[in-house]
Amino acid sequence: MKKITVLILFTLFMFSAVVNAQKSNLIKTSLTSPFLKTYVIAYERVVNENVGAQLGFYYTGASTLDVQFSGFAITPEFRYYLSEEKAAPNGAFIAPFFRYQSFTLEDQENIASANFTGIGGGLLIGIQRVFKETISLSAFIGPSYISPSVEYNDPGNEFFDKGSGGFWARAGVNIGIAF
């Protein structure tokens, strides 16, 4: 076990030494999500001058129409930066992503509830800038596809539309700290 720990620490050290010309880690949150009662945190690691890998997590406790949502999503994302003048994490990017989400759904009268699980992915286009080598600001948009699975706790009260999967849009504006 000790050898594995040393090997992992050595690998992480060597990985971090690859990109030392600028800060290669970012922690970000969404500027728009609090208005939707959704809370987002994402970590991006610059892999080389054109590539970044990001892992996002969000939690929600939102209400829409007659349904209360509570749950989370995990979104791994690969970012390819297109700028020839600036190195990652600056510039325009394209980003394929995968998403797993799990929600508990309840109607407003607490008569029926369901568990919703969605698996999907998509492709984003966006731009990110790091100001004063510390503050990051990014904006992105793109199509997303979700394949849903809904399990009703009371099958007689199927209040949630099973067709909630399919194509959606994913968009956002994030602010963060580079280190």
Q: What are phi and psi of 20, to 5 degrees?
A: -120, 5
Number of domains forming the structure of the chain: 1
Determine the pLDDT at residue 144: 97
What CA dihedral angle connects 165, 53, 94 and 168, to 10 degrees?
Answer: 10
pTM: 0.80
Close Cβ partners of 124 (under 8 Å, ≥ 6 residues apart): 77, 93, 94, 95, 96, 97, 140, 141, 142, 170
Q: Is residue 12 part of a domain?
A: no
Question: Amino acid identity of 79?
Answer: R
Q: Is residue 7 part of a domain?
A: no
Q: Is residue 2 part of a domain?
A: no
Q: Is residue 13 part of a domain?
A: no
Q: Is residue 143 part of a domain?
A: yes
Determine the pLDDT at residue 15: 47
CATH number at residue 106: 2.40.160.20
Span 131-151, pLDDT tens digits: 999 999 999 999 999 999 888
**Residue 19: band (very low, low, confident or very high) from pLDDT cuts 50, 70, 90:** very low
| DSSP state for residue 133 in the 8-state scheme | T
Q: Measured between alpha carbons, how far is 127 from 141 in angstroms, rounded to an integer?
A: 10
Q: Is residue 3 part of a domain?
A: no
From residue 72, alpha-carbon distances to 27, 46, 124, 174 in Å are 18, 25, 20, 18
Span 46-60, pLDDT tens digits: 999 999 999 999 999
Output the six-digit token pair for 65: 């129409």
What is the length of the chain?
179
Close Cβ partners of 156 (under 8 Å, ≥ 6 residues apart): none
Q: Measured between alpha carbons, how far is 161 from 63 in angstroms, rounded to an integer?
A: 15
Q: Measured between alpha carbons, how far is 53 from 15 in angstroms, rounded to an integer?
A: 13
Determine the pLDDT at residue 63: 80
What is the span of the domain harbouring residue 168?
22-178
Q: Is residue 6 part of a domain?
A: no
Please say if the pLDDT value at position 124 is more than 60.
Answer: yes
Largest CA distance in the chain: 60
Q: Is residue 54 part of a domain?
A: yes
